[in-house]
Amino acid sequence: MSTGRLCDKSMENKIALLFNVNVEQIFCFSKGRVAFYALLKAMGIGPGDEVLMSGYTCVMVPSAPMFLGATCRYLDIEPHTYNLNPRLLDSHYSNKTKALIIQHTYGIAQDMAPILQWAKEKNIPIIEDCCHVFGSTYKNQLCGTFGVGAFFSGQWNKPFSTGLGGILLVNEASLLPKVQAIYESAVLPTLVEELRLKIQILSYKGLVNPKTVGAVMMAYRILSRLGIAAGSSSNEEFSGAMPKGYLKRMASVQKQEGERTLVSISALLAHRKQLGEYYAEKLPKIGFMSHMPMSESENIILRYPVRVANKEAIVSKALRNGVEIGSWFEIPLHPKGIDMACFGYQPGMCPESEKACCEVINLPTHQKISLKEADRILAFLQKYGKAVSPGTSIGSVPEES
């Protein structure tokens, strides 16, 4: 945990290699949302500006532009990809629109062709939210390389973990000096924060396995709300206020953790890919729909989405039974309990998203899930899950454009 490592760029180097970019294009922050905020700030986004984004996301995404005084406009999703519907771009666009956020939900690559064409026509910069995606490609191009920049999350449950953390990849060269200046102005984690993160990383590794993950994450959320653990979100943020010390760099312990994970990244991704394909093959056999990937994309799934008619019941039963089933997203601006009106979301704005929030559960693909464990999850789903009745789910018939 030596502070000398703070100037060490070896984590940035590893990421740069994976994306085939220069190390100067990679910046490490305390969280994904902070990386996003830094990019928006470098782009000069501020009061009066509007940012377009998916209305099926984590509330920390709209909070970043809001902290700069900008307004978020939410686009509904396509029900079979969980990514934003490009046909809604025109109706949400105005002369105040300054950026378009593309989130590759669950690791499923957005259909980029209509997005790129629209953005080019309107001259709107694209930012990719890569918090769910690492290694997925669209027409053989890596997600994260399509826009002016992309941000990644190093949270526990994201593609690869730095404890907590965020990475910014800047593709647009003209933004680099501004991002560099913002990075330099960002506060450094204190030694106490470093220590706390280190303890959390170690206890996470010791405590968490597929059977305990639900209970441990619940305890962790309670501890962080009480201010004992370094939580992923503060109470202030949940109500739309920018917390003190928000613009913060990644701690060296997080970089070390990230580097350790990156050593085996290709095996990690191969495992996720294999499990994604396994679920896709098995789900229809037990009466559930697998999602419909586009032929142009190769997806490395972070969490495999499945629609059920009894989401709440099966999620809580899974928690009690030590079966890892996730609930992303519970409301259009996840998590449940926040006041979405503070973030400009009104009920009814995104009907497909609201429907997905009621129906979609997700299955894990991480390293601790063996094929045997996946079978146990599938058996649980078969026993207790109720498939959505055909016709009400759209998974089978993608809408024509």
Contact residues toward ligand PLP (CB under 6 A) are: 31-33, 57-58, 60-61, 103, 129, 131-132, 153, 155, 158, 166, 232
Q: Output 158 or 311, the one with its CB closest to ligand PLP.
A: 158
Classify strands 57-58 and 141-142 as parallel, antiparallel or unpaired.
unpaired
CA distance 168 to 303: 22
DSSP 395: S
Give bridge partners of residue 335 from the DSSP assignment: none
Kindly state the smallest distance separating residue 102's Cβ from ligand PLP, in Å: 11
CB of 51 vs ligand PLP, minimal distance in Å? 14
Backbone angles phi, psi at 75, to 5 degrees: -100, 140
C-beta of 128 vs 388, nearer to ligand PLP: 128
Cis geometry, peptide bond prior to residue 67 (ω within 30 degrees of 0): no
Least CB distance to ligand PLP at residue 220 (A): 13
Q: How far is the CB of 127 from ligand PLP (least distance, A)?
A: 11
* Distance separating alpha carbons of residues 54 and 101, to the nearest angstrom: 7
In the bound state, the residue with its beta carbon closest to ligand PLP is 32
Which backbone phi and psi does 18 adopt, to 5 degrees?
-65, -35
The total of other beta-carbon atoms located within 10 Å of residue 190's CB is: 12
Nearer to ligand PLP, 138 or 152 (CB): 152
The residue (of 30 and 252) whose beta carbon lies closer to ligand PLP is 30
**Nearest approach, Cβ of residue 106 and ligand PLP (Å):** 9
Residue closer to ligand PLP by CB (options 82, 288) is: 82
**Burial class of residue 217 in the structure, from the number of CB atoms within 10 Å of its CB (0-12 exposed, 13-18 middle, 19+ buried):** middle
Alpha-carbon span 361 to 180, nearest angstrom: 39
- CB of 57 or CB of 81, closer to ligand PLP: 57
* Token output for 321: 């039974």
Place of tokens 């030596």: 2
CB of 56 to ligand PLP, least distance (A): 9
